[in-house]
Amino acid sequence: MRRGILERYRAYLPVTEHTPHLTLFEGETPLYHAQRLSAEIGVNVYLKHEGANPTGSFKDRGMVMAIAKAKEEGSTAVICASTGNTSASAAAYAARLGLKCYVVVPHGRIAMGKLAQAVIYGAEVLAIEGNFDQALAMVREIADRYPVTLVNSLNPYRIEGQKTAAFEICEQLGEAPDILAIPVGNAGNITAYWKGFKEYVQAGKARKLPKMWGFEAEGAAAIVRGEPISEPETIATAIRIGNPASWKKAEAAADESGGCIDFVTDEQILEAYRKIAEWEGVFCEPASAASVAGLIKMAQLGKCKPGSKAVCVLTGNGLKDPQTALHATEVKPKVIPGEMKAVLEWINVEMDS
């Protein structure tokens, strides 16, 4: 029986007797062993499929906590900047508690499915002619000046909720993995996982800590380059971010764990994106594939110990962005007449080949 993370991990979260019992049954997402990827990469690869959350991304774990606390603290409205997933999740949970939700997104640069979600859940959607970093600067200022709660990952409750994914991985594997590979955009999620793993060790629920390997997209790799990027560019729109808010915390997670922050190219992202779907039957969004692309890159550099266990976080569901999938593969639907004869001819050709 699914319970949702506020109830399931109550002991580890800032849940009080006044916190609303909010849930869309987030969390308890699958951890798949990826057989063919493991064979190719030479380590035991697992995929944490966060796209299986209610609105299709990992944001639901943080959002259920942030929205419940906003309501508990008397707020009637929330606001966020977003490359798409945060806005979809905020809109859904705000709808559930009857809070007003304002979202600011970069015009033309968010996947259609995410925009559709924010709209149908009833959020006020503002599309600015600008990028995520500019949108975030604006909503931070608005939240300072007006009675509206910021629900970007600068809100500490977001990090609290998102750390539960680390707990689940430890439970599903029976221990922490050797490596945690994760896409990095605004850098909230890597911060949350690292906090989660450390807390589980402290609580005696895990015996070791993983190395944290975070991967930015090459055209948006501010942390790797050591300076903000004013016009970030990547096919992975979810992580098209040039000045990550949790920059220092991401660096700390990498340093303290003996891991790293590196980047992957759009080509490496798309190749991993196709392999995850074709080889493992899991459809994630392009940004999510940065975790697997990064692991492949590290293996090629000889940085993966054979036999070690690596968990790649697949942060969002591929259905949010079908356009990229259709462009990313050579396989196109074959158009033939709607007659049995034509279908049989095609099948015979296929069977013979």
Nearer to ligand F0G, 82 or 131 (CB): 82
Q: How far is the CB of 17 from ligand F0G (least distance, A)?
A: 30
* Three-state secondary structure readout of 147-210: CCEECCCCCHHHHHHHCHHHHHHHHHHCCCCCEEEEECCCCHHHHHHHHHHHHHHHCCCCCCCC
84 binds ligand F0G (CB under 6 A): yes
Looking at 131, 153, 155, 243, which residue binds ligand F0G (CB under 6 A)? Answer: 153
Number of residues that bind ligand F0G (CB under 6 A): 22
Tokens of 298: 């590290």
The whole-angstrom separation of Cα 236 and Cα 243 is: 16
206 known member of a binding site? no
* Contact window for ligand F0G (CB under 6 A) among 65-73, 80-88, 194-202, 324-332: 80-88
The whole-angstrom separation of Cα 85 and Cα 55 is: 8
184 binds ligand F0G (CB under 6 A): yes
Query: How big is the chain by its Cα radius of gyration, in Å?
Result: 20
Containing H/E element for 103? strand 100-106
Tokens of 339: 């007659």
The 314-353 contact track toward ligand F0G, x by CB under 6 A, reads -xx-------------------------------------
* Distances, alpha carbon 330 to alpha carbons 77, 217, 325, 333, in Å: 45, 23, 10, 10
155 known member of a binding site? no
Q: How far is the CB of 59 from ligand F0G (least distance, A)?
A: 6
Of 29, 30, 24, the C-alpha closest to 4 is 24
185 known member of a binding site? yes
Q: How far is the CB of 48 from ligand F0G (least distance, A)?
A: 12
Looking at 27, 185, 219, 232, which residue binds ligand F0G (CB under 6 A)? Answer: 185
| Residues annotated in a binding site | 85, 185-189, 315
Note the residues at the interface with ligand F0G (CB under 6 A).
Answer: 57, 59, 82-86, 153, 183-189, 238-239, 285, 287-288, 315-316
| Residues annotated in a binding site for pyridoxal 5'-phosphate | 85, 185-189, 315
